[in-house]
Amino acid sequence: MGEQLEALQRRILEQGRVLSGGVLRVDAFLNQRVDMRLMREVGSAFAERFEGAGAGVVLTVESSGIAPAGMTALAMGLPLVVCKKQASRITRDERLSTMVHSFTKDAEYELSVSREFIAEGERVLFIDDFLAMGEAALGVARLVGQAGAVLAGIGIVIEKSFQPGRKKLEALGVPISSLARIARMDPDECDNRKAITFM
C-alpha cells in the first residue's frame, strides 16, 4: 500500500546506525533528535494513504510514536490518542490495558489508555515509529478490541521486514502501510548503502 518515502529512505542511509541483533538506531532524526519537517512529510504520506480508511482518531504508543502520529493526526484533522506504557498514578479513570512483551527490553510492560478516549464503534488508525516483532501493534489491536472499536489501518514509519512483525499484523486483515521497508541489514558493513537493503 503506497510507495516507500524517498526522503525517509535517504535519511536512514545518511544517519541510521546498524547494530548487531537486528537493531537500527535512528536517534538522529526520529527517536531522540526529531526532525519535525521530516515528520510533517511522514504525516502527509500517511494522511494520503489512509484517506479512505474512515478513521476518527489516530492512536500511538509513547513516546517515539508521538511525533509521526501527531503530524498524521494534524494532517488528517483528527485527534491523537497516546497509549501509555505504564498506568499513571494520577489517572484513576477506567482504563483499557493489556500486557505486551518488549523484545528490545526483554521485559513485559502494561499498555493502557483511558476508555473514554476510544469510543465504541470508532475507526482507529494506529501509527508507530517501528515495526519489528509486532508485539506493540498487537497490544494496540487488543486495546481497540476491548473498546469495541475497529482497527482501520496500521501505519509504520520504519518496518524491519526481515523480522516477524509484518506477518503477524497481516493476520489482522487490516491495511498496513510502511514508509520504509528494510529487507536486510548487515551490522558488519560500515557503508550504509551496502549495509541496508530496502524492499
- Interface residue with a second copy, options 1, 14, 32, 99 (CB under 8 A): 32
Encoded one letter per residue, x for contact with a second copy by CB under 8 A and - for no contact, window 163-182 reads --------------------
Q: Find all residues with CB under 8 Å of 112, minimum gap 6, and list them.
A: 83, 84, 86, 87, 95, 96, 97, 98, 143
> How many residues in the shown chain lie near a second copy by CB under 8 A?
37
Residue 191 one-letter amino acid: D
Kindly state whether residue 37 participates in binding a second copy, applying the rule CB under 8 A: yes
Cβ burial, residue 149 (10 Å; 0-12/13-18/19+): buried
Taking CB under 8 A as the binding criterion, the range among 23-31, 134-142, 151-159, 190-198 that sits at the site for a second copy is: 23-31
Cβ burial, residue 167 (10 Å; 0-12/13-18/19+): exposed
Cβ burial, residue 35 (10 Å; 0-12/13-18/19+): middle
Encoded one letter per residue, x for contact with a second copy by CB under 8 A and - for no contact, window 88-127 reads xxxx------------xx-------xx--x----------
Taking CB under 8 A as the binding criterion, the range among 46-54, 86-94, 143-151, 158-166 that sits at the site for a second copy is: 86-94
- Interface residue with a second copy, options 40, 101, 142, 168 (CB under 8 A): 40
Beta bridge partners of 126: 59, 154
| Of 1 and 23, CB closest to a second copy | 23
Kindly state whether residue 70 participates in binding a second copy, applying the rule CB under 8 A: yes
